[in-house]
Amino acid sequence: MNDMPKLDLSRRSFLLTSSLVSGTFVLGFHFPAAAAAAQDTEVNAWVVISPDNSVVVRVAHSEMGQGSMTALAMLVAEELNADWSTVRTEFVDPRENIKRNKVYGGMATVGSRAVRSSHQYLRNAGAGAREMLVAAAAQRLKVPATELVAANSTITHAASKRTLTYGDVAAAAAKLTPPAKVELKDPATWTIAGKPTKRLDIADKVHAKPVYAIDVMLPDMVHAAIVQSPVFGGKLKSHDETAIKNHKGIVQVVPLEDAIAVVADSYWAAQRAVKAIPVTWDDGANGKVSSASIAEFINSGLNQPEAPATRNDGDVKASLAKAAKVIEATYRVPFLSHAPMETQNATVRFSGDIVEVWAPTQNTESVMSAAAQAAGVDPLKVVVHPTFSGGGFGRRGGGGGTTDYIEQATKIAKAVGKPVKLIWSREEDIQHDYYRPISAAKFTAGLDAQGNIVAWNTRIAGQTILSTSAPKAIKDNMDAGFLVAFTDNPYAVENVKVDYAMRNTHVHVGYWRSVNHSQNGYFRECFFDEVAKAAGQDPYEMRRKYLAKAPKQLAVLDTVAKAAEWGKPLPKGMWRGIAQVDGYDSFVAAVAEISLNPDGSPKVHRIVTAIDPGYAVNPDSIKGQMEGAVVWAMSAALYDEITIKDGRVEQGNFDTYPVLRMHEMPIVDVHVVPSGGFWGGVGEPGAPPVAPAIANAMLAATGKPIRSLPIVRRNAATV
Amino acid sequence: MITLKINGQDHNVDVEPDMPLLWVLRDKLGMTGTKFGCGIAQCGACTVQINGVATRSCVTPAAAVVGAEIKTIEALTDSGNSVIQKAWIDHEVPQCGYCQPGMMMAADALLKDNPHPTDEDINAAITNICRCGTYPRVRKAIHAAANNT
């Protein structure tokens, strides 16, 4: 049994987390040994040099498999001219961000922002530390700094053949004033960043060394299971504990405002008991809401005459009236769950006036504040122990209620007076998510006699994420973010209208990997193929025409078309579809190759995809993200939907919320084509073009557009 | 009190006979390499080997495996760099890593049974869920491991 030693506040606070880690309890990232920690030198907030000349780079973002931990360290190491083989990482304690006046910026790992929001300060940090180390070496060697060369964590004075390591001069460097301004390298000269680099977390993960939050074991720890109000917004009315009086291992029943928890000596005992307790819920006003009533509500939005617009170029109405051909279509997508493999969980221990928390998260700052609020303590009294997160995909971003499991565990631990590990069952996880919003798009486009698009009208009706995350931020019934891919539609059409009929339900919604680009990319790219079909044009060639002034989109489109040999006949019974969606400052396109199963559902044989993220910091990691995005998007395109009955979610586990598995996995051919000059995200943008590429291949195969997702449930005979 | 033989060692545990092996491993023995993912034998995060057969421990009662050879990810790791783990590292398979112990236990069982699996064999044997989407690399790593045995 691996037990965590008690909290020792005598260590310097920044390395507190490492001091809690015993030799047998490896967290999967490398912490300096406690003894060595005292001799480590912090050159600046990101760069710590150990006496053995190894380098610790501080990482302010979460690692949930997307590779940020490695990519961010690469950017620092590049400018630092560090010996990459000695670079380790250390997660930033969110309390330090408060104490240091937000030197690390926002620590939320959302919106594919880890690299694109921090590359500047990370490179500055590496370059600044390098200059300070060189300046210290110049003083030591009594030579001008300009005569010194720093490379591989070593500073060389060629004329006198003298060398000093970073470790030799770190202490002196730390006393110098940081340079006010640093010069960053031309990315063309990079030797670490931009090269395929082994991720720092791989070997430990393969050897099952990382202790995820769900794995934490503490002395005297007890286990909690929970059942939450099945209707969002409902409350616990009454419950009958006598039903579990014969259960073994029960410690305590903890009723919460909208949930009931049982604490026991194992999770299994707790889960069995909590399911056995008869509970009466006050469903509130939403106990009768169903998917059918929600669909009607959405339809009312599609059909209302006027709505707030983000674009109204030219004269759509007049152009449609004059059009030779008018194409109309309505597209729909359902709510979707994140279902990360590590369900929501949190372990909380009260140690004196300190509250310790272990939890999978994309945002340790939000864990700190949520636990502080639930415990009634100052955030600086909360220690968030860093762990890898077993997926996240937006569920654990920290805003808009997504710290619910942290608050629950904190309240339960406080009630029980012992360290508590709370684990949500998969059913609780799927039924109490913050879902990708339900949405629909009603399109009208006009073609002239030559097949040119003369007008394009888009009405979106759906639930803004702000309705859950920040209702007060909604102004004038508009959330411009809900209209991405339309407001900034790169297809050059003269008469364009984009408007939004907001339809907010009681269902909690949130940020789901690739967010509003996921549904809007599908809507737009599939309707474009319908328009191309009506115009009698090839969907790839027609896209090229309308992207003539969008070179980045055009380049990735051409890349996938070429790689997939667009235009070359496929074997009989095979079809292709193409799509492109830019987002998160990156440009992505995809081609899907499919055949049809006997029941009419698609069998996807190959996805060819290309991304231009501007600068590609770790190309192999980006390739992995693109592969993963294909799987993510295919699950949603083919199978996934959350439906509502009696105000509650009908699905509960992977039997009713099926996701893609190995046997359905196509070949994925990824092309990473960085064109330089900008910093795009990579975690999310791979997903949006996948569903429309598959749906467009279905259109090519059957002549029938796929106007709602998931394809298998809605459009083919199988379920 | 029942006795379970896990990774070659006998462990006496005081549990109810229907407690799933997963929770005996995790909560009673502190062997947390085996993960919880669904509780209904869908996702395979909890995969261990029972007498060499990949088995979902979340629905396997402890009493049902008394006397059996139970092998967990900890054994694969303690053996040093297993062929599977080497291939997993070479191909940088994991992303979040959470499902990977189960994936590797399933792959290890497959290769013991079928040293040179085809893509179809892999499809049939690897039914584990990975939400990060590591399937392409899992497939490549299994083929690579097969070529190294």
A25-63 burial, b at 16+ Cβ within 10 Å, e below that, comes to bbbbbbbbeeeebeebbbbbbbbbbbeebbbbbbbbbbb
State how far the Cα of A486 lies from the Cα of A528, in Å rounded to an integer: 12
User: If one looks up domain A291-336+435-715 in CATH, what number appears?
Assistant: 3.30.365.10
Q: Hey, which bits of A379-473 come out as E strands? A: 382-385, 420-423, 439-447, 453-462
Contacts A631 to B, Cβ<8 Å: 130-133, 135
Cα A664 from Cα A655, distance rounded (Å):
16
Give the pLDDT score at B79. 77
Query: Choosing among B7, B32, B34, B95, which should be mutated to test the A contact, i.e. which has the most A CBs within 10 A?
Result: B95
Cβ atoms of residues A96 and A116 within 8 Å: no
The alpha carbon of A496 is separated from its chain's Cα centroid by a whole number of angstroms, namely 31
Domain ranges of chain B: 2-72, 77-147
Residue in A425, A628, A663 nearest the CB of B95 = A628
Q: How far is B13 from chain A (nearest CA, A)?
A: 13
The alpha-carbon gap from A679 to the nearest alpha carbon of chain B, in Å, equals: 22
Integer Cα distance of A359 and A213 in angstroms: 5
- Best of A197, A202, A204, A206 to disrupt the B interface (most B CBs within 10 Å) is A206
Cα separation, A260 vs A281, in Å, equals 10
> In chain A, what residues touch B135 (CB-CB under 8 Å)?
627, 631, 660-662, 665
Q: How many residues does chain A have?
A: 719
- Chain CA centroid to CA A321, Å: 43
Nearest-CA distance A691 → chain B (Å): 15
* Residue A480 forms contact with B (CB below 8 Å): no
Q: What is the pLDDT of residues B40-99, one digit of tens each?
A: 999 999 999 999 999 999 999 999 999 999 999 999 988 777 999 999 999 999 999 999
Dihedral angle computed from the Cα positions of residues A447, A451, A453 and A458, in that order, rounded to the nearest 10 degrees: 50
Please report, as a single letter, which amino acid is at residue B95.
Answer: Q
Among residues A289, A237, A240, which one has the least CA distance to residue A262?
A: A240
List all residues of chain A from 382 to 411 with a beta carbon under 8 Å from chain B.
388-393
User: Who among B40, B92, B122 is closest to A624 (CB)?
Assistant: B92
Residue A601's contacts (CB-CB under 8 Å, 6 or more residues apart) are A638, A711, A712, A716, A717, A718
Distance (Å, whole) CA A431 – CA A61: 28
CA nearest neighbour of A681 among A564, A582, A569, A570: A582
| 3-state SS string for A84-135 | HHHEEEEECCHHHHHHCCCCCCCCCCCCCCHHHHHHHHHHHHHHHHHHHHHH
Cβ neighbours around A533 below 10 Å, total: 18
Collect all residues of chain B within an 8 Å Cβ-Cβ radius of residue A388.
Answer: 96-97
| Topology (CATH) of A213-284+344-423 | Aldehyde Oxidoreductase; domain 4 (3.30.365)
Asked if B133's CB is within 8 angstroms of A628's CB, the reply is: yes
Residue whose C-alpha is closest to residue A31's, from A200, A144, A168, A150: A200
As a whole number of angstroms, the distance between CA A487 and CA A354 comes to 48
Taking the CA of residue B105 and the nearest CA in chain A, the distance in Å comes to 11
pLDDT of residue A37: 56
Residue A341 and residue B74: Cβ atoms within 8 Å?
no
d(CA B100, CA B106): 10
| Nearest CB to B27; choose among A267, A630, A631 | A267
- Which residue is associated with the tokens 């949130």? A510
Determine, for residues A628 and B37 on separate chains, whether the beta-carbon distance falls below 8 Å. Answer: no
- What's the token pair of residue A589? 């396109």
How is chain B split among helix, strand and coil, in percent rounded to 5?
A: 40, 15, 40
Q: What is the pLDDT of residue A99?
A: 94
Cα angle at A347 between A247 and A233, to 5 degrees?
Answer: 80
Is ipTM > 0.95 here?
A: yes
> Which has the closest alpha carbon to A412: A228, A217, A649?
A228
Among A202, A223, A423, select the one facing B89 at the smallest CB separation. A202
Nearest in space to A419 (alpha carbons), one of A355, A353, A343, A345: A355
Check if the beta carbon of residue A388 is closer than 8 Å to that of residue A372.
no
CA dihedral A71, A75, A76, A82 (to 10 degrees): 100
Q: Which of residues 303-362 of A touch B (CB under 8 A)?
A: 338-343
Does B98 contact A341 at a Cβ distance shorter than 8 Å? yes
3-state secondary structure of A693: helix
Query: Starting from the edge strand earliest in sequence, which strands make up the sheet with A575-583, in order?
Result: A575-583, A586-596, A602-612, A667-672
Q: In chain A, whose CA is at the least distance from the CA of B72?
A: A208
Interface touch A266/B23, C-beta < 8 Å: yes
Place of tokens 């949520």: A370
Q: How many beta-carbon contacts under 8 Å exist across A and B?
A: 173
CATH number of B2-72: 3.10.20.30
Query: Touching check for A121 and chain B: CB below 8 Å?
Result: no
Task: Give the per-residue pLDDT at A716.
Answer: 53
Strands (E), A574-653: 575-583, 586-596, 602-612, 644-645, 648-649
Nearest residue to A357 (alpha-carbon basis) of A343, A342, A372, A344: A372
- What type of residue is A260? I
The SS3 call for residue A658 is: coil
The answer to whether residues A582 and A552 touch, using CB atoms and an 8 Å cutoff, is: yes
How close A566 comes to chain B (CA, Å)? Answer: 23
Query: Cβ B124–A212 below 8 Å, yes or no?
Result: no
Q: Which residues of A touch B6 (CB under 8 A)?
A: none
CB atoms within 10 A of CB B52: 13
Beta strands in A309-353 (DSSP E): 309-313, 325-333, 345-351
Instruction: Give the pLDDT confidence score for residue A276 in this predicted structure.
Output: 98
For chain A of 719 residues, list the mean pLDDT of each consecutive stretch of 10.
Answer: 38 32 32 50 96 95 94 97 97 95 92 89 97 98 98 98 98 96 97 96 95 97 98 98 96 98 98 98 97 98 98 98 98 98 98 96 97 98 97 95 97 98 98 98 98 98 97 96 98 98 98 98 98 98 98 98 97 98 98 96 97 97 98 98 98 97 98 98 97 98 97 63
Amino acid making up residue A456: W
Partners of A590 in the beta sheet?
Answer: A579, A609
Residues of B in contact with A628 (CB under 8 A): 95, 132-134
Query: What are the angstrom distances between the C-alpha of A601 and each of A108, A596, A697, B40, B133?
Result: 39, 6, 12, 27, 21
User: Mutate which of A199, A220, A268 to test chain B, going by most B C-beta atoms within 10 A?
Assistant: A268
Alpha-carbon span A716 to B6, nearest angstrom: 46
**Which residue's entry shows tokens 């890898």?**
A388
To the question of domain B77-147 being in CATH 3.20.20.150, the answer is: no
pLDDT of residue A113: 85
Burial of A679 (0-12, 13-18, 19+ CB in 10 A): middle
CA distance to partner chain A, nearest, from residue B67 (Å):
23
CATH 3.30.365.10 in chain A, residue ranges: 13-206, 213-284+344-423, 291-336+435-715
Work out whether strand A420-423 and strand A222-228 pair parallel, antiparallel, or are unpaired. parallel
pLDDT of residue A39: 82
**Residue with structure tokens 């339309």?**
A486
For residue A362, which amino acid is it?
Q
Task: Report the topology of domain A13-206.
Answer: Aldehyde Oxidoreductase; domain 4 (3.30.365)
To which residue do tokens 């000695």 refer? A86
- What is the pLDDT at residue A117? 87
Tell the residue number behind the tokens 């860093």, with chain if given: A386
**Residue A179, Cβ density class (10 Å: 0-12 exposed, 13-18 middle, ≥19 buried):** middle
Q: Name the residue among A208, A341, A392 with its Cβ closest to that of B77.
A: A208
Report CA Rg, chain A. Answer: 27
